[in-house]
Structure 1
Amino acid sequence: MRLSELARATAVSAPTIKYYLREGLLHDGALTSATQAEYDESHVTRLHLIRALVGAAGLSLSQARSVLDAVDSPPESLHDLLGRAHEVVTEPHHADVDTTEAEGLLRRWGWPVEGCDPRVIGGLAAALASARAAGFVFPEAVLDSYGDAARRMATAELDAIPLESPAAAVRYVTLGTLLAEPVILSLRRLAEQVASGERFEG
């Protein structure tokens, strides 16, 4: 298909496609003349992935490039591939955050601290510290419940990862990481409403 047909098939404008080509995010088409190229379904698939990353997931072009690099040159193991995808969407944390409490929680649950991203542990530590600064301390049983629920969610998500290609796996993990969190928050609030009604309203 020509560039104009690729634009129609993907709902991505021709100037944007040309920009992705110039930036190396999208691979070149097969040249049919000095100024014309033919594109195929691999370009359609790649454009859908790019748009999902910079659109629905809200990644910057540099972040999207990092994800696409992982797709194009995947690590040997799926674990490392998923780690690369998570790495792109994980916020940095301040180096001065004390992670002792957070690491203690993980160890109590039997989670290998050494195998966890220090930035995510830092994020957990910062969240716990913010709660404490506001005068709120999470009951141990509640934190244990959170950990158990998170582990079960993670297992279910990993079971659903498409394995037909690195691109499909990275797309699922990246978008799932960014787009699932608002869903999880909404479900938690709805579950609290239901549980509160059952317990206190009879």
Structure 2
Amino acid sequence: MKISELSRRTGVPVASIKYFLRQGLLPAGRATAATAAEYGEEHVQRLRLIKALTTLGGLSIAATRDVLGAVDRAHSAEGALGAVSYALPVPVASLHDADPAEEAEGEAAAGAEVAELLAALDWQAPGTSPHVKALTAALKELRRLDAQYAPEELAAYARLAEQVALLDLERAAGIDDPVSLAERAVVVLAICAPVFELLRRLAQEDQVRRRVAGGGGGGDEYAAPR
């Protein structure tokens, strides 16, 4: 197909496609003339992934190039998933400036808490994982606010998260091509995560309304903003 057809198929403007070609994000098409080339389904697939990374994932061109390189080097579905998971922005708690001694103490306590949790669950995650570091930072901030989880509470949430992760991976079952799987991973991590958070909030709203109704209230105590 010509570049105009590639643009129509993917919804990516011709100018953007040419930019991605210049930046090395998209492989060159098969030259048919001095200024013309033919593109195939692999270009459609790659453009969909680029679009997902830059729009849904919010990655820069440089970061997108790194992810694409990691996906291309991946020899397994797990490698592609790992490349995307580590590349996308990691949720990080808003941290409060603290006394250096207090900061070190909180870091040590939160780090020990995360290590104990991972060991109890037998989760395979190295200390260098950005997710381990972010969880440590979040738990440290909760400790500063005196709002930390009890160990059994944190473990209960972690087991629920494990079930969600299993459902996430089931959605990707049967996709063997690393590029296709990477695209699905971006969708799951960038879009499905907010969907899950909204489901959680809806469940909380339902529980609050039920408790209000059970206590004899009319339910107006939980009113949506106008």
TM-score range, shorter chain: 0.7 to 0.9
Q: Which residue of 1 aligns with 2:46?
A: 46
Shift in CA distance, 118/71, structure 1 to aligned 2, threshold 3 Å: closer
Quick one: structure 1 residues 42 and 113, their matched pair in 2 at CA, closer, same or farther if it must change by over 3 Å? closer
% identical aligned pairs:
34
Which letter does structure 2 place at the counterpart of 1:89? L
| Residue 204 of structure 2: aligned partner | 192
**1:20-31 pair list within 5 angstroms:** 20-31=20-31
Cα contact 2:77–2:177 (8 A) shared by 1: no
| 2:165 aligned residue | 154
Which residue of 164, 177, 190 corresponds with 1:165?
A: 177
In the comparison of the two structures, how many residue pairs are matched?
199
Among 102, 106, 128, which residue is 2:114 paired with?
Answer: 102
Contact 1:103–1:113 (CA under 8 A) maintained in structure 2: no
2:136 equivalent to 1:125: yes
Question: Is residue 145 from structure 1 mapped to residue 156 from structure 2 by the alignment?
Answer: yes
Which runs of no fewer than 5 residues in structure 1 stay unpaired? none
Q: Does the 8 A contact of 2:45 with 2:180 survive in 1?
A: no
Shift of 1:130: 0.9
TM-superposed CA distance for 1:183, in Å, is 1.6
Deviates more, 1:192-201 or 1:143-152: 192-201
Q: Which residue of 2 aligns with 1:183?
A: 195
Taking structure 1 as the reference length, what is the TM-score of the superposition?
A: 0.87
Provide the C-alpha distance between the structure 2 equivalents of 1:90 and 1:66, rounded to a whole number of angstroms.
Answer: 14
SS at match of 1:184: helix
The DSSP-based 3-state class of the residue aligned with 1:201 is helix
Q: CA deviation at 1:25?
A: 0.9
CA distance in 1 between counterparts of 2:156 and 2:211 reads 18
* Structure label with greater radius of gyration: 2
CA distance in structure 2 between the partners assigned to 1:92 and 1:189 by the alignment: 18
Q: 1-side partners of 2:9 and 2:167: how far apart? A: 33
Aligned-residue offset at 1:117 = 5.0
2:57 maps to a residue whose letter is A
Question: Which residue identity is paired with 1:2?
Answer: K
After the TM superposition, list the runs of 4 or more consecutive aligned residues in structure 1 that deviate by more than 4 angstroms. Answer: none
Distance 1:83 1:166 in 2: 11
Structure 2: gaps spanning 5 or more residues: 96-103, 215-226
The residue type paired with residue 188 of structure 2 is G
Give the TM-score, by structure 2 length.
0.78
Equivalent of residue 146 in structure 2, options 127, 135, 142: 135
Shift of 1:121: 1.1
Q: Equivalents in 2 of 1:38, 1:140: separation in Å?
A: 58
